[in-house]
Amino acid sequence: MTYSQKIARFLEIVGYILLIPAVYGLFISIVLIFWAPWVTLIIWIISGFGIALLIGYFKHSRDRLPVEQINRMWYGTIAYNFIPLLFSFYYFYQKATAETQPYHYRQDDNGLIFMTLLTVWWTIAIFASISALYKNYRDGEKYL
């Protein structure tokens, strides 16, 4: 098993775990179709990309993904995780620059804890994808 396949297996396992809240979000988006259909459309498009990446991780970790698509999968992973990472940076910027009372930052701020965990996950996924790309390039596996 190559390094790239090990990274794909790791992202696949985490992807299965993250499917639980994702399915919940998809059901909530069905309710939103009556009030904000564009939000539902965006949620379903993002979910479609996520499932396509999960299928790519599954195929690559079992050596069934065509070699031409391996680097495309890693580039897709970087883009898929970089976009929400930008939004999380904006969230933290808003938290840091909020002109509120001194007790604004409480230890039981669940939103801050949740966003911190998501930001750490997105960063790990991005760096793992970059390392897999670099390892493929260094080992001479230069795919399209």
Single pTM value for the model: 0.84
For residues 63-85, average pLDDT: 94
DSSP H helical ranges for the chain: 3-32, 37-61, 70-97, 110-138
97 has pLDDT over 80: no
Whose tokens are 């790239």? That residue is: 4
In a domain, 65, yes or no: yes
Amino acid occupying residue 32: L
**Whether 128 contacts 57, CB under 8 Å:** no
In a domain, 43, yes or no: yes
Q: What is the pLDDT of residue 142?
A: 53
71 has pLDDT over 80: yes
In a domain, 144, yes or no: no
d(CA 33, CA 39): 8
In a domain, 26, yes or no: yes
For residues 94-115, average pLDDT: 67
Which structural domain range is residue 19 located in?
Answer: 3-138
Q: How many domains does the chain have?
A: 1
- pLDDT-derived band at 86 (thresholds 50, 70, 90) equals very high
- List CB contacts of 3: < 8 A, sequence separation 6 or more: 131, 132, 135
**Whether 4 contacts 60, CB under 8 Å:** yes
Encode pLDDT of 8-34 as tens digits: 999 999 999 999 988 988 888 888 888
For residues 45-71, average pLDDT: 94
d(CA 31, CA 34): 7
66 has pLDDT over 70: yes
In a domain, 15, yes or no: yes
144 has pLDDT over 50: no
Q: What is the pLDDT of residue 35?
A: 86
In a domain, 34, yes or no: yes
The torsion region of residue 123 among left (phi > 0), alpha (psi -120 to 50) and beta comes to alpha
7 has pLDDT over 80: yes
